[in-house]
Structure 1
């Protein structure tokens, strides 16, 4: 089954299939649509090697083929950076290009409920992040690989499915899941002590400095002078939690690429933190009185 949004700018579709024939039945018309679209470069398929071979047999070399493990190399924010960078380099005017996309369900995307939830967040926020672009994306879900619960939640992230939810509401639902409580041995720390502490917990010197930089960038977003810091864990899963008065209130915080530069650089705030860390969780208190940002360096 393939869904399609009404005509507009970013066109975010979803296809669910259970056989190779059903995959081709969704993929080939979509990619052919891209081949025929005026002013667009060749469409791109990002999927498994086996499915890329099927597309090559059917469409020849008319479509750009990318193995999904070469595209989805890290966290969901890393995938956003990859997509934004590819569009900036290769898309036509206004972001015009057709992209067929499938994450690696045998890898990170399907490795845990936590990772699957982060993927759904990415799918939902894509509707806001790429809204200004005339990009057409088809996200394909194989029922033989993607868990049923993930597919059902993915419908909520795609317009035209009949289950679509506003991204602000869907991300709020994801954030309504409480974070695990800090362990009893969590301890307070100053920002200047993060790199040394992370080194003591097993991160190498470069990684410890990188993590400390991510914590500093998150603290600056909150207002460093107001943020209280606690740390716990061992490498690679070193964790830092910042708490500060006030409300961040922006589901896109740290997901919007900085203009002109997609590499993680100091001074990019939560974008830098999300690119560096495996997980960055932001929780606004229900009464709006405080915000908590929890950063975990590695998985």
Structure 2
């Protein structure tokens, strides 16, 4: 039971980092960015490549952030500069990344069981007192760093412009700023976070699989909506709500498997949970208006 709970918390924190990126695109920019289904495995592929070539797990995560930011930049440029619809921009990049991810990783499945990662290296192995909670502690610290970074950024002038761009682009123009450039920055940052989560997930499970990003958008949206709606009355930042939403979401998935549902039905379970969250959220909004 303890192992199951630890697994839920660990994966919840990883998906929490990913959901912070979805929060930027969905909640702040109102941009349905499907490219995240490609940038999540991109992070895993980048991390696999660098670790197998002798680099540390930390370096591989940093390189994944750069790669994810570049992918988000391309998605935004296609939308902003080439005037392609936002949904189609994400689909184009997501489709292209499938081949790029295969090229980077070398094949569709790659294991790194004997390699050093952020969870298994000379530094962390010296902290014997952490025991079975070692991975959870590391993930908590990493998630906290990303959360604090995002909170600090959103309180800057650039962060306020990012939030304003999603709500009122006309006001941004009146302030003498180009909302298109701000959108490019936001999508780059969002996909950097998603890509980092993919790199961390690969090191957590110690293998890369080309289809591991399938459903990333749905998982992220479900976590964002669940967290923000469920903790709406609590005086905590949205970033905290999103991470908590991801943990609760993984908990629901874990319970579904514990009661006997097959792991092979995970995608179906995900779709059903997301539909229920949407319906409950919509019903709540209608009650508030009434």
TM-score, normalised relative to structure 1: 0.26
- Structure ranking higher on relative contact order (CA contacts 8 Å, 6+ apart): 2
Larger radius of gyration: 1
